[in-house]
Structure 1
């Protein structure tokens, strides 16, 4: 895939996810929250130059560092979501103003990693963007799932927003 298509896919996913997160939504206990992140990761990992062949060690360190900070941002994002139980027993979620800031923070962190790579003259594939987005969504959903279980003392299973 080209860099433009990676960016367009990432932008479309972000618009879709952020739009959904800022509306109150019933928590779907049957949804496979890992599917979209898995698809994004599969597309990203098909890139033969995910790691710059001329700077393997630096590129691997940059990738590992960016994935670690992305996981942290996903966790932070998962904690910005409001979760509540309605009188009928269903769980609901809604993003808050902090959710918007978490997204902006994640984008700034991703840009900072690209900046570090550029300063070190390490090529970073646009597929890293898709891989980061997949990890961000996976960790965020896992955090929301965990938080949802805490509402019922750990009795709920398979929840994701």
Structure 2
């Protein structure tokens, strides 16, 4: 796949994921949450230029750093996702303001890694970013699935708005 197609796939998947996270969505506990990340990982690993042959050590270190950022972003994103259960038993989720901070931080760290790679003159392929995105989605989905199996999945997420009791009007 060409770099342009990779960039379009990454942009489309990221836009879809980011747009969907901020509106309530029903969580289907029976679905195969690992399929999309697995497909993205296969597509990324099929590309031969993930490691720069002229800067192997720096390239591998940058790839590892990209993967760590992706995995941490996925975990933080999952923990900042608000999950609640409706009276009919349906489970819903929605991203919080803290989720926005997680995404901004993850994108910022990836930009820093890209700048470091450019400064070291390491050729960076979009397949590394695609692989990290797959890791982000895999960890996020896995942690959410794990949170749903906890005794009380309605535990507020970090950064979720906690309802406050109504104030009494002065008499």
Which one has a bigger Cα radius of gyration?
Answer: 2
1:54-69 to 2 correspondences below 5 Å: 54-69=54-69
Is the partner of 2:32 in helix, strand or coil? coil
In structure 1, the partner of 2:31 is 31
Does the 8 Å CA contact 1:26/1:90 hold for their aligned counterparts?
Answer: yes
Does the 8 Å CA contact 1:78/1:141 hold for their aligned counterparts?
Answer: yes
Distance apart, 1:151 and its partner CA: 3.7
In structure 1, the partner of 2:70 is 70
Structure 2 CA distance for aligned equivalents of residues 73 and 131 of structure 1: 13
Of the structure 1 ranges 95-104 and 79-88, higher mean CA displacement relative to structure 2 is found in: 95-104
Does the 8 Å CA contact 1:80/1:95 hold for their aligned counterparts?
Answer: yes
Unpaired stretches in structure 1, ≥5 consecutive residues: 154-161
Does the 8 Å CA contact 1:78/1:144 hold for their aligned counterparts?
Answer: yes
In structure 2, the partner of 1:137 is 137
- CA-atom RMSD, angstroms? 1.4
In structure 2, the partner of 1:158 is none
Q: Aligned pairs, how many?
A: 153
1:1-161 to 2 correspondences below 5 Å: 1-152=1-152
Distance apart, 1:18 and its partner CA: 1.4
Is the partner of 1:84 in helix, strand or coil? strand
Distance apart, 1:88 and its partner CA: 1.1
Distance apart, 1:152 and its partner CA: 4.2
Is the partner of 1:65 in helix, strand or coil? helix
Structure richer in helix, relative to its length? 1
In structure 1, the partner of 2:169 is none
Q: TM-score, structure 2 length as denominator?
A: 0.84
Is the partner of 2:150 in helix, strand or coil? helix
Residue by residue, what CA displacement relative to the aligned partner does 1:4-52 show, whole Å, maximum 9, x if unpaired? 2111111111111112111111110121111111111111111111100
Q: Return structure 1 stretches of 4+ with deviation > 3 angstroms.
A: none
